Amino acid sequence: MPNFSIEASPADDLIDVPRRIVVRGAHPGEPVRVSSSTVRNGVEWQSSACFIADAHGDVDLSRNRAVDGDYTGIDAMGLFWSQRPLQEGKRDNFHADVAEPLVTTLTVSSLSAPGLAPCTPASTQLVQRLAAEGVTRREVREEGLVGTLFLPATPGPHPAVMIVNGSGGGINEPRAALYASRGYAAFALAYFKAPGLSDYISNTPLEYFARGLDWLRAQVQPKDDFVAISGQSRGGELVLLLGSVFPGKVSAVLAYVPSALVHSGQNAADPAVGREGPTWLLRGQPLPHQWQDNRTASWKPFDEGPSPHRHELAMLTALADPEAVARARIPVERITAPVLLLSATDDGSWPSALYCKIVSDKLVEVAHPWPLVWRNYVDAGHSILFPFVPTTQTTYAHPVSGRISTGGGEPRANARADFDSWQQAQAFLREAVDKHSSQKDSP
């Protein structure tokens, strides 16, 4: 009786590295099942797919089509993005400690096939890391700042990136750890829902982030004084705003599913302020926002719409008042740096594709002299992360308001967006750093 073997290579590497998964030892033409199991922050996630062995009795997931299962078609990493949690409602992709790797068990087993003796199942393990060996982590609780600084293992100076989260708040350590693993001094800065900070986004002073940028420069002395800012969702809105308000402090802007407009507190608002109250303060004064004095804005399409609720539907009502939109528009023409825009056509949280068009159109109109890159992902939703993580959990309870809603997107399209967006981000930053350094070297 032949015995299966299964191999994954590389067996241990950073999370953004694609793997080759190969099964051997099957009968030619035999149907087999390959399954994955990963514990993510204490919860098991699983997926499986079925394949037909080739004439040599092999299955290579990068070449052989999945004919049934949690995904179909050819996709070397399909077993990762198609995983689902065994506990309903769980969405954590990573462990609380980002230094703890994700370990996935891959198992191959026989399916029932007339006339074929079943092969003995085989398993192997695959390790995905957010933090490369030698990356250092330092908690920051000084000068009123709350965050975590990750530094590469290699000697500096390094270009720097400051990362801010969206309406869920907290500290985005996974993205910062991966940036550091790719050679950047990465500062994940919290601004609410973190120790010592407010539980809500309402009335957040923009000067806090200027202080964060200054602190990062002083601490790491970045290569050629290069400091980029990266944020998603409300963080995407925020980094466009920071680039506009503090252009001299920002060397590049990476805006994931951002808004082109200043928004009210919405789902992350302090109940005492209300979801139509201000989010951002500058010199102690609230910035005009989309909902303010808006003649067409209505929460009804979100509140009373079909489940899972789409926050985007309410945002679209507010866009029908051109005067309110004009007052709330982020003056992106003031940004003096390269801009990367990442959006999705099925964004259930807000119309990021439309917002990115507004930003792009304005930068083109003013002949923005720095690089502008916009990637708009068809059929993808609001949650664009980085490659090879599950993309199946699109409906969730908002971490602040508790409202059940959907970020939208189809899992396969979300996975494509995760992969391409990370390639775009890395290429964008490399080019931005190179151009910034060449300008510094010019007499």
Residues 153, 109 share a domain: no
Residues 310, 162 share a domain: yes
Query: Cα(344)–Cα(351) distance, rounded to whole angstroms?
Result: 8
Query: Cα(193)–Cα(16) distance, rounded to whole angstroms?
Result: 28
Specify the pLDDT at position 306: 86
Residues 305, 228 share a domain: yes
Strands 102-110 and 68-69: what pairing? unpaired
Q: What's the CATH code of the domain at 256?
A: 3.40.50.1820
Judge residue 265's burial from the number of C-beta atoms within 10 Å of its C-beta, 0-12 exposed, 13-18 middle, 19 or more buried.
Answer: buried
Q: Is 79 helix (H, G, I), strand (E, B) or coil?
A: helix
400 CB-near residues (< 8 Å, 6+ apart): 167, 168, 169, 193, 199, 200, 201, 267, 268, 269
Contact at 8 Å (CB) between 339 and 372? yes
Residue 147 domain boundaries: 136-441
Contact at 8 Å (CB) between 249 and 336? no
Contact at 8 Å (CB) between 161 and 228? yes
Residues 166, 65 share a domain: no
Residue spans of the chain under pLDDT 70: 1-2, 113-117, 440-443
Judge residue 113's burial from the number of C-beta atoms within 10 Å of its C-beta, 0-12 exposed, 13-18 middle, 19 or more buried.
Answer: middle
Residues 216, 75 share a domain: no
Query: Cα(338)–Cα(424) distance, rounded to whole angstroms?
Result: 13
Residues 301, 268 share a domain: yes
Residues 273, 381 share a domain: yes
Residues 112, 203 share a domain: no
Burial state string for 383-400 with b = 16 or more CB within 10 A and e = fewer than 16: bbbbbbbbbbbbbbebeb
Residue 311's H or E segment, with its range, is helix 311-318
Residues 151, 96 share a domain: no
Contact at 8 Å (CB) between 260 and 339? no
Among residues 110, 129, 148, the one where a domain terminates is 129
Residues 141, 105 share a domain: no
CB-side exposure of 72: number of CA atoms within 13 Å? 3
The dihedrals phi and psi of 341, each to the nearest 5 degrees, come to -115, 130
Specify the pLDDT at position 442: 60
Q: Is 177 helix (H, G, I), strand (E, B) or coil?
A: helix
What is the total count of domains within the chain?
Answer: 2
Residues 199, 294 share a domain: yes
Among residues 108, 129, 150, the one where a domain terminates is 129
Residues 123, 108 share a domain: yes
Classify the phi-psi angles of 42: left when phi > 0, otherwise alpha if psi is within -120 to 50, otherwise beta. left
Among residues 114, 129, 144, the one where a domain terminates is 129
Q: What's the CATH code of the domain at 83?
A: 2.60.40.2240
Contact at 8 Å (CB) between 264 and 279? yes
